[in-house]
Chain A
Amino acid sequence: MADQERILPELLSKHQTQILESWSAEQLRNRRPGKAGISEEDLRGQCRDFLNALQEASQDDPSDDLQSPIWERARDILTDISREQSKHGASPSDIATFVFSLKQILFQLLQTEIGKRPEVFAREIWTTTLILDRLGLFTTQVALKIREEVIARQQSEMLELSTPVVKLWDGVLALPLIGTLDSERTQVVMESLLEEIVRTGAGIAIIDITGVPTVDTLVAQHLLKTVAAARLMGAECIISGIRPQIAATIVHLGVDLGDVSTKATLADAFAIALRRNNLVVTRTTPAARRQSAE
Chain B
Amino acid sequence: MDRIPILKLGDFLLVTVQVDMHDRLAMNLQEDLTDKIVSAHARGVLIDISALDMVDSFIGRMLGNIASMSRILDAETVVVGMRPAVAITLVELGLSLPGVRTALNVERGMEMLRATISVYAAEYSEYHGDPF
A residues touching B (Cβ–Cβ < 8 Å)? 190-191, 194-195, 197-198, 201, 203, 225-226, 228-235
Stretch with Cβ within 8 A of A (4 or more), from B6-14, B104-112, B116-124: B104-112
Which of A191, A201, A233 contacts B102 (CB under 8 A)?
A233
* Contact partners of B80 in chain A: CB under 8 A: 234
Which B residue sits closest to A232, measured CB to CB?
B87
Given contacts A191-B84, A191-B88, A194-B87, contact A231 B102 (CB under 8 A): yes
Instruction: Provide the main secondary structure of the chain A interface.
Output: helix
Interface string of B33-72 (1 = CB under 8 A from A): 0000000000000000000000000000000000000000
CB of B92 closer than 8 Å to a CB of A:
yes
Total CB contacts across the A-B interface at under 8 A: 58
B88 and A194 contacting across the interface, CB-CB below 8 Å: yes
Shortest C-beta distance, B61 to chain A (Å), equals: 14
Which of A195, A229, A234 contacts B108 (CB under 8 A)?
A234
Cα(A231)–Cα(B80), bound, Å: 11
Q: What are 20 A-B pairs at a CB distance below 8 A?
A: A191-B85, A194-B88, A195-B84, A197-B104, A198-B83, A225-B91, A225-B92, A226-B88, A229-B91, A230-B87, A231-B96, A231-B102, A232-B86, A232-B87, A232-B91, A233-B82, A233-B87, A233-B104, A234-B108, A235-B104
**20 other contacts beyond A190-B88, A232-B96, A234-B103, with CB at 8 A cut-off?**
A191-B85, A195-B84, A197-B104, A201-B104, A201-B108, A225-B92, A228-B96, A229-B87, A229-B88, A229-B90, A231-B102, A232-B90, A232-B91, A232-B97, A232-B102, A233-B83, A233-B102, A234-B102, A234-B104, A234-B109
* Contact partners of A233 in chain B: CB under 8 A: 82-84, 87, 102, 104
Cα(A38)–Cα(B67), bound, Å: 67
Given contacts A201-B104, A203-B104, contact A194 B92 (CB under 8 A): no
* Contact partners of B86 in chain A: CB under 8 A: 232
Interface residues on B, range: 20 to 34
Shortest C-beta distance, B101 to chain A (Å), equals: 8
Shortest C-beta distance, A235 to chain B (Å), equals: 6
* Contact partners of B88 in chain A: CB under 8 A: 190-191, 194, 225-226, 229
* Contact partners of B83 in chain A: CB under 8 A: 198, 233
Query: What 7 A-B pairs come out closest when comparing CB atoms?
Result: A194-B84, A229-B87, A234-B103, A234-B102, A232-B87, A234-B104, A228-B91
| Contacts of B73-89 to chain A: CB distance below 8 A | 79-88
Shortest C-beta distance, A258 to chain B (Å), equals: 9
Shortest C-beta distance, B67 to chain A (Å), equals: 13
Cα(A123)–Cα(B101), bound, Å: 80
Cα(A198)–Cα(B90), bound, Å: 17
* Contact partners of A230 in chain B: CB under 8 A: 87
Cα(A231)–Cα(B83), bound, Å: 11
Which B residue sits closest to A187, measured CB to CB?
B88
Cα(A201)–Cα(B105), bound, Å: 8
Shortest C-beta distance, A225 to chain B (Å), equals: 5
* Contact partners of B97 in chain A: CB under 8 A: 232
Which B residue sits closest to A194, measured CB to CB?
B84
Shortest C-beta distance, A6 to chain B (Å), equals: 57
B84 and A234 contacting across the interface, CB-CB below 8 Å: no
Shortest C-beta distance, A79 to chain B (Å), equals: 35
Shortest C-beta distance, B65 to chain A (Å), equals: 16
* Contact partners of B108 in chain A: CB under 8 A: 201, 203, 234
